[in-house]
Each structure stands twice: as C-alpha cells, then as structure tokens.
C-alpha cells in the first residue's frame, strides 16, 4: 500500500487556518472532493462527524486521522492538511492537533479500511516524518514527504 494511491497534490494543503475541530473536518471534506474523487462533501463530513461521535480520531503526537466508510465510493481517498495553529481535538494523548489526514473508503471495504489505518498510523508514528511535514511550506513538499518510499523499520 502506498499513500500515493490515496492522495493528489490538490488534496494536500499546508498552513490551513481553522477555528476548531468542526472547521477542520469541513475543510477536509471539501478537499476530499478535489481531482475527480467523486466524493460528496456533505456526505464526507457527515461520515467523519459520525465516526468522531464514537471516539476521537486524534491519534496523538499532534495528529488526527478522521476516517470512515462512505456509501457510493469506488476506491479509498485521502486528504491531508497541516494547520496554521494547533487546535483542541480531544486527542488520545490530550495534546492539541497540528496536522490531519482524512481517509474515506468504500462502505463495505472493512479490511481495506483497517489496512489503510495501520499504514497511516505507522507513517505518523515516525517523529522525523511528522517534523518534516510541519516544516514543509508548500503542498508539493507535503505531498513528497507523505508519498516518499519508506524502508522496513
């Protein structure tokens, strides 16, 4: 699995200004519609908000991983942002969030969903990757950092 399968440079944005968690989810929902992904922004937002009600997708170390299964999707799609200012996200480690990767998969893709979540958790558990993402000033830099091949650890 490669994150490159989920993203495009148009769905990766640096230094986004959002007032809080809801604003972040709204921005990600809009980004998920870019590049012919056939994602409905309203449905994407509803899907991620419903998932948040089950428990925070703030995975720690300043990272949020909002995700869900969406009816009508034909393939997994993702979007990524770094934030201009950290926000409270009710993360597991109780620390504010500074970056977020949204993941949507087709409704019945349970196994694929779990595999993508594991892949993303592995990427974001790497302190060097997180630091490089926070220091990137352009969408292209973010995209390259996220999609660069990583050796087995």
Q: Which one, of 110, 141, 126, lies nearest residue 60 by Cα?
A: 126
Q: Could you give the angle at the alpha carbon of 55 between the alpha carbons of 30 and 122, nearest 5°?
A: 75
Where on the phi/psi map is residue 90: left (φ > 0), alpha (ψ -120 to 50), or beta? left
Q: Count other Cβ atoms within 10 Å, centred on residue 24.
A: 23
Q: What is d(CA 33, CA 47) in angstroms, rounded to the nearest whole number?
A: 14
Q: Which residues pair with 101 in a beta bridge?
A: 80
Show which residues are catalytic: 67
- Neighbour count for residue 46 (Cβ, 10 Å): 15
């Amino acid at each position: 699995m490669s994150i490159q399968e989920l993203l495009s440079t148009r769905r990766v944005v640096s230094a986004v200004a959002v007032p809080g968690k809801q604003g972040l989810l709204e921005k990600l929902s809009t980004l998920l519609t870019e590049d012919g992904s056939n994602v409905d922004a309203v449905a994407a937002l509803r899907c991620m908000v419903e998932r948040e009600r089950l428990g925070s997708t703030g995975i720690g170390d300043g990272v949020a991983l909002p995700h869900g299964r969406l009816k009508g999707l034909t393939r997994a799609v993702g979007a990524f942002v770094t934030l201009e200012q950290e926000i409270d996200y009710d993360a597991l480690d109780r620390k504010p969030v500074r970056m977020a990767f949204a993941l949507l998969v087709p409704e019945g893709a349970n196994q694929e969903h779990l595999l993508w979540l594991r892949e993303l958790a592995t990427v974001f558990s790497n302190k060097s990757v997180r630091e490089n993402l926070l220091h990137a000033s352009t969408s292209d830099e973010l995209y390259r950092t996220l999609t660069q091949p990583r050796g087995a650890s």
